[in-house]
Structures are given as C-alpha cells and as structure tokens.
Structure 1
Amino acid sequence: MRLLSYNIDEKLIACIEDIYITDIAEDVEDATYHSEVRNYNLILIKENNIFACKEILKKINSQVTAVIIITDNNSKEFELELLKLGAISILKEPVSNEFILAKIESIHRENFKNVIPFKNGYKINIQEKSFNHDQSKVYLTGKSFAILSYLIKNKHRPPISKDELLHAIWDEPEMVSDNVIEININNIRNNLKKEFDENFIETVRHRGYKVIPN
C-alpha cells in the first residue's frame, strides 16, 4: 500500500514505513502534485490552509484514497467543507502519534494484521509470505505475494485496476510496464492451482482483478 505524507512527525512515519510505501512531500505544492500523478491508499498531511487541502482532495479518488488532515484550524467550517469534499478524518491539534496511528489502523485494519482469513478456511500469512489451507501452504515471493495479499485485503471492493496495483506495490510505478501485473497474476494462479486445484483470481474485462468470493 502507498502513503503520501506532508509535514508529519518522522517518528510516526517510522512506525508505518514497513507497512506503506511512503512518499514524503517537500511542501504543499509537492503534495498536490504527487496526489495527482500517483494513486495513494492514504494521504496524511498537516495543514491549516483550507485552499491547499481542497486542491489535494480534488485530485484523489475517495473510493481508493483515505485522506487524514491534521490541523490547528479549529473552524467548524474548515472541518465540514473538507469532510464534504472527501477527507475521511480531520484531527485537531494537539493530537498524539499514538492516536493518529490508531486512526490509520482503523481505516486499513487488515493491513496491520499478520494473518488474514480469505474464505473456506484459506488464509494468507504476511510474515511467512504464504497462502494456507489446513496443512497445505504455497509460498510466494516478491511482487506475486504482494499482489495476492493486496487483492485479499481489498476483497470487498470492486475490481482492482493494474494501475492501482502498480502504484500500491512498486516503488517507482512509472518505470514499470503494466504487463508485469499479468505475469505475476499468472504466476499466482499457476502456483495456487497446482496446490489447491482452484482459481482464486477473477479477471474483470477492462476493469482489473478481483479475488473470487465465496
């Protein structure tokens, strides 16, 4: 998963940089630019200027990107307008890193779990990089495992596009052809089919991929 941060405590970022690919904006203009050219699962910014916040919110797809704004601005209008534009939470200063981290976890709860159940007793183990059922396990390496875990974490959403997968998983998505997604999807299917004799991933034409529900 991918995170854009601006003006955020380094200690907080250190707590989550193993969970999110993290882009750190240099200033609010840089944050606005990044929110336009990359797809993010989470944008975390500290900003008091409502116009700057609105510019960022205009660039994102709120169905994919959760935006948390930390601010010293106590105006109720500030909060209401940004929530209406798609921000998921406005946190008023002073606010502790512990509270912010809890808020992030509440939004992407499965991203903080080590073992994620899928269906019919299947589960994915993040630490082992394995897909399990009873005593059977398939170990997937590199991006193949990252793609499968991302699809399972987002199993309740509509199909996930190749572009979203690239931005969520690769450090430099602009440098990668989307054909690499198809290669990894085929690798996942072949490995899981061999072990479990099932296909777990559906290709939705012109839309992307989705794990097959119960």
Structure 2
Amino acid sequence: MFNIMIIDDNEQLQNEIENVLINNRYSVTKVKEFNNIPELVRSSNPHLILLDINLPQDDGFKICTEIRSFSKIPVIFVTSRNTNIDELMGITLGGDDFITKPYNTQILLARISSLLKRAYPENKSMDIIEYNGLKLNILSSTIENNRNVVELTKNELKILHYLLNNKGKIVSRVDIMEYLWDSSLFVNDNTLTVNITRIRNKVEEIGISDFIKTKRGQGYII
C-alpha cells in the first residue's frame, strides 16, 4: 500500500484529503508539526507528498528544495496560490505536479496514481506488508505465516496496518484512536483494548508470538 504524506496546516482540509485517500486504498501520514519537515520526510519515507506552499514556518518552495537534496520522492504542490509564477517556481524547484485549490478530487487521484506508476514501475504490489514472518494482505484483510491464514475485521486491519507502518516506534493508544477516527472508524478505549487482544490472538494463531509489545504508560510497538 502506498503511503501519502500531507503537508498542509489546514487541519480540515488535511482530514478531507485523508478520507479520500484512505477510501482509495492509500495510507496517510499527516504532518502536525512544521518546524523540521525535511527530517520528518527522511524518517517517514512516504511514497508521495502533497505539499502546500503557505505554511507556518518555511514555505513549500523551500521545503521542496530541501527534500530534493536527499530524495526523489514525488511531490505534488496542492495550493490556493494559482499564478503562473507560483506554478513555474514549484516545478523548477523540484515539484512533479501543481494543483490549485479548490481541486477536483478525481483529478487529484488521477495525478497521484500517474506519478506513483512512474516513480515505482518495479512495484508489483504495495498491498502486502511482510515483517518478522507475518504477511499482511491489505486487499483480502488477512494475515499469514507458513500457509496459516486468518481473516481480520476492518478495525483489526486498520490497527495492525498502522502499527506496521510505524514499526520500531512506540505508538500511543491516543494516536491509534485518532487514526481510526480520521478513517471514519470510531473506537473508544475499551474497544481498542479488545481489538488489540484479538489481533494478538490471531497473530499467535498463525504461529507468531509476542508480535505486538506493550510499553506500559506509552503504547504499543512492533
């Protein structure tokens, strides 16, 4: 599954774009702190970036230039600035496309799909994630190990996928619940506990133990 990073300080717009992307089988990373975006890009390593120009600290042009110093990740400027000079600067400084707000959702999705196909022609499937013996199939909502296959519910799939996308990092319960809320899948604290327990049981069912670890007072880590 391709991961799209949204760099925009308009939270409502971020959430709207995120819902569209998730409904079209993308995973999403939303930037909430704007003081060191290039390092966040470096550590998160998304497959594509949607970048606004007007941001609280450095503008999108400077950020794109800094990203281009270490990465060829596709960048689409998505902005309300619509002059020819803005578009020319965006492309000249390393942007791959330029879309003005308000935009047509289907056109945005088509531009994203086109760029991903060009940037990752060798990719056969981003719908399968493998880690430490576990294979998560996004399309079939299943986990597998040594031909043992178990189905996941929608919430279980979202939670496990989120944890895998953040493997090696501690993910707080609040982060998981906010992620599910933004995906239109609301869970409360008790429901999250139940889902984590069920995921652990299903992972053990396919022969993998201690896959999701609890960090007391902090959250979970894979």
Q: Structure 2 length normalisation: TM-score?
A: 0.54
Q: 1:70 to 1:187 in 2, by over 3 A?
A: same
Determine if the alignment matches structure 1 residue 166 to structure 2 residue 177.
Answer: yes
Determine if the alignment matches structure 1 residue 95 to structure 2 residue 98.
Answer: yes
Q: Which amino acid aligns with 2:61?
A: E
- Once residues 158 and 197 of structure 2 are traced to their aligned partners in structure 1, the CA distance between those partners, rounded to angstroms, is 14
Match runs of 1:54-203 below 5 Å: 57=34, 68-71=50-53, 79-80=61-62, 91=77, 92=90, 95=98, 97=108, 100=112, 102=115, 113-120=126-133, 122-156=134-168, 158-171=169-182, 176-196=187-207, 198-203=209-214
Q: Which amino acid aligns with 1:42?
A: K
Q: Which amino acid aligns with 1:17?
A: N
Specify the SS of the correspondent of 1:19: coil
1:114 to partner: Cα distance: 0.9
Query: Which residue of structure 2 lines up, in the alignment, with residue 36 of structure 1?
Result: none
Tell me how many residue pairs correspond in the alignment: 168
C-alpha RMSD of the superposition: 4.8
- Once residues 22 and 59 of structure 2 are traced to their aligned partners in structure 1, the CA distance between those partners, rounded to angstroms, is 31
Ranges in structure 1 where 5+ consecutive residues have no aligned partner? 22-39, 44-54
1:100 to partner: Cα distance: 4.9
1:154 to partner: Cα distance: 1.8
Query: Which residue of structure 2 lines up, in the alignment, with residue 17 of structure 1?
Result: 23
Aligned partners of 2:143 and 2:150 also within 8 Å: yes
1:196 to partner: Cα distance: 1.2
Aligned partners of 1:115 and 1:124 also within 8 Å: yes
Query: Which residue of structure 2 lines up, in the alignment, with residue 50 of structure 1?
Result: none
Ranges in structure 2 where 5+ consecutive residues have no aligned partner? 67-72, 78-89, 92-96, 100-107
Q: 1:124 to 1:197 in 2, by over 3 A?
A: closer
Q: 1:141 to 1:176 in 2, by over 3 A?
A: closer
